[in-house]
Amino acid sequence: MTTLNIAIAGAGGRMGRMLVEAVLASDDLRLSGALGVPDSAGLGQDAATFLGKASGAIVTSDLAAGLEGADVLIDFTRPEGTLQHLEYCAAHGIKVVIGTTGFDDAGKAAIRAAAEKTAVVFAPNMSVGVNVTMKLLEMAAQNLATGYDIEIIEAHHRHKVDAPSGTALKMGEVIADALGRDLKECAVYGREGVTGERDPSTIGFATVRGGDIIGDHTVLFAGTGERIEISHKSSSRAGYAQGSLRAARFLADKPAGLFDMYAVLGLNT
Ligand SMILES: NC(=O)C1=CN([C@@H]2O[C@H](COP(=O)(O)OP(=O)(O)OC[C@H]3O[C@@H](n4cnc5c(N)ncnc54)[C@H](OP(=O)(O)O)[C@@H]3O)[C@@H](O)[C@H]2O)C=CC1
Ligand SMILES: O=C(O)C1=N[C@H](C(=O)O)C[C@H](O)C1
């Protein structure tokens, strides 16, 4: 078995720690490096210190040091950090799994451009369950195209900085595509005051933030006399970490290109 060298960006974050633990627990992956920002609490320490272990990877903000020998970088940070890391990886032939959310159109264009130089998996949610839920939404939207109002409700922990979640936005895109609509034209991101009656062609979003909610998403198809709710609820971040490792293994033999979790999980039918 060949060993894949994995570097982790945002190694001290909620997802970074899950990933460090998951890489150390695997027998085909090696933690080759760990990136933080200059004021990160764990800078200069072993990335596995929080587990009471030594991985040999010291958290650094020096990209060359943190990415030395890496085959794949797994990045769950912030858009500005991810884009910096990606530029370095594209220039040095390092593959990248991007879990970060909250990119604007320019950021997404930069990811597409970098993927012409190196292989990239970019997905707002790495869990198998969420990606299968996306397929269910496609089917539901195709079959409930008229007479059903579509609302997407998401809930996350108090520390989350972007809204709606990347997953909720992707759900909106999947549904809009299935209905032949453009999400940019039909999304409604908040309601207040005298809003008038609901326009049936819209897709509504509602955001809840509080406590330690890991990630809940519900899509409501509200018709007359009935409603359908398709929900996914995460009770642990482990599913995101395991999905990210699957994405890293998937990239091992891939040439440059942009892939999503449908490709990783074989859901592109
Ligand atoms: N695709 C998926 O399946 C999932 C995606 N996410 C997304 O992943 C991202 C991170 O989430 P989470 O782990 O909860 O967040 P955290 O805030 O816990 O962790 C973010 C990490 O990135 C570091 N960081 C912050 N700013 C920068 C920067 N500019 N450059 C480089 N590193 C930076 C932080 O450093 P420091 O330690 O100093 O704070 C921290 O280590 C979010 O966008 C979230 O939406 C989350 C879960 C699943
Ligand atoms: O910030 C989080 O925590 C999560 N972010 C992702 C998103 O924005 O969709 C995925 C998951 O919901 C957890």
Q: What is the per-residue pLDDT across 39-67, written as a single tens digit (0 to 9) for each?
A: 999 999 999 999 999 999 999 999 999 99
- The domains located in the chain, with CATH, are 4-122+237-265 (3.40.50.720), 128-234 (3.30.360.10)
Which atom, in ligand 2's list, is nearest to the CA of 169? 9
| Mean pLDDT, all residues of the chain | 98
14 is in an annotated binding site: yes
Query: pLDDT tens digit string along 19-29?
Result: 999 999 999 99
CA of 75 to the centre of ligand 1 (A): 8
Chain CA centroid to CA 129, Å: 13
Residue identified by tokens 């809930």 is 155
Please provide the distance, in angstroms rounded to a whole number, between the alpha carbons at the two ends of the chain.
Answer: 30
- Cα(187)–Cα(2) distance, integer angstroms: 46
Closest CA to 66 of 5, 3, 8, 4: 8
Sole residue written with tokens 């108090």: 158
Rounded mean pLDDT of 71-76?
98
- How distant is the alpha carbon of residue 241 from its chain centre? 10
163-181 residue pLDDT tens? 999 999 999 999 999 999 9
**pLDDT confidence of 193, banded at 50, 70, 90?**
very high
Query: How confident is residue 1, by pLDDT bands cut at 50, 70 and 90?
Result: confident
Q: pTM for this one? A: 0.98
Band (269; pLDDT cuts 50, 70, 90) = confident
Q: What residues flank ligand 2, with Cβ below 6 Å?
A: 101, 124-125, 156, 160, 165-167, 215
82, 131, 160, 217: which to mutate for ligand 2, most atoms within 8 A of CB?
Answer: 160
The tens digit of pLDDT for each residue in 114-148 reads 999 999 999 999 999 999 999 999 999 999 999 99
Closest residue by Cα to atom 23, ligand 1, is 10
Give the model's pLDDT for residue 216. 98
What ipTM does the predicted assembly reach?
Answer: 0.99
